[in-house]
Amino acid sequence: MAGFGSLAPKTKNIVVAGGLSAFVLGVYYYTMRAVGGTDELQVAIDKFEGMKKKDAGNSSAAGS
């Protein structure tokens, strides 16, 4: 990178900041894809709603 040394300090800072930002965002998206990116709160809500529907189905069947 011979051309990098001839840049102004502010320009070097911008280049480094852009590179670091790209790296951090890449790691974030890779990690989210690797773990599945599920939201634990949404999973808990879905589970609760499923239990509510199951209980509602049982109580209506018992009442008939």
What are the tens digits of pLDDT across the range 2-26? Answer: 677 888 999 999 999 999 999 999 9
For the chain, the domain total comes to: 1
Q: Answer whether residue 63 is part of any domain.
A: no
Query: For residue 20, what are the domain limits?
Result: 2-58
Report the residue count for the chain: 64
pLDDT of residue 49: 92
Alpha helices (H) along 1-64: 9-35, 40-63
Distances (CA, A) of 58 to 19, 23, 47, 54, 64: 57, 52, 17, 6, 10
pLDDT of residue 63: 56
Note if the pTM is more than 0.85.
Answer: no
Q: Answer whether residue 12 is part of any domain.
A: yes
pLDDT of residue 2: 61
Q: Answer whether residue 42 is part of any domain.
A: yes
Distance from C-alpha of 48 to C-alpha of 56, rounded to nearest angstrom: 12
Q: Answer whether residue 10 is part of any domain.
A: yes
